[in-house]
Amino acid sequence: MTISKKLSLAFLTIVSGVCLTSCFHGVAYHKYADVDAWNWSNSDTLTFELPRTTSSGELMPTVGVRTTNSFPFRMLHLQLVVSCDNEVVAADTVFVAVYDNNGQPVGKGFPYTTTLKPLQPLHVDSGKVYTFCINHIMNEERVKGVTKVGIELDMP
């Protein structure tokens, strides 16, 4: 085998190894659900069901919220309930700052602003089905200005 063929084979092997290794890091799940931007009721629960997990390990969850400039509050209060095979394994109140103390959007984007809120790591077990349920727990029964809420799960 010539030196150029050996170098090409070595380069191809390295590139393949990097590609295969990168498959084990990154986004495991990413989905947004639409919300009635003018009438999101606190009884409207958004449900995200993950596909059956194929391996055990830690996932890094993030809640994403897309808002319009008509969102009337500085912060959005959410309730998050995580179930595994229909049994609650975690529940938390999530406070997503939409505007800072000066009234400027915390998130990015136009015309909708997307604000991300990282959460505590979540341990998942192989072969299980995990479900994330989110609803707002604001003092107002109906909230305007929220267009989408989502979940992203990253593998560290």
Give a yes or no: residue 17 inside a domain.
no
Give a yes or no: residue 18 inside a domain.
no
Give a yes or no: residue 12 inside a domain.
no
- Look up residue 82 and give its amino acid: V
Give a yes or no: residue 70 inside a domain.
yes
Query: Could you tell me the residue range of the domain that residue 149 belongs to?
Result: 27-155
Report d(CA 50, CA 98) in Å as an integer.
Answer: 26
Give a yes or no: residue 121 inside a domain.
yes
Give a yes or no: residue 129 inside a domain.
yes
Domains of the chain: total: 1
Give a yes or no: residue 10 inside a domain.
no
**Phi-psi label, residue 2: left if phi above 0, alpha if psi -120 to 50, beta otherwise:** beta
Domain of residue 146, CATH code: 2.60.120
- Can you give the pLDDT of all 156 residues of the chain as single tens digits? 554 443 333 333 333 333 333 444 688 899 999 999 999 999 999 999 999 988 899 999 999 999 999 999 999 999 999 999 989 999 999 999 999 999 999 999 988 999 999 999 999 999 999 999 999 999 999 999 999 999 999 988
Give a yes or no: residue 99 inside a domain.
yes
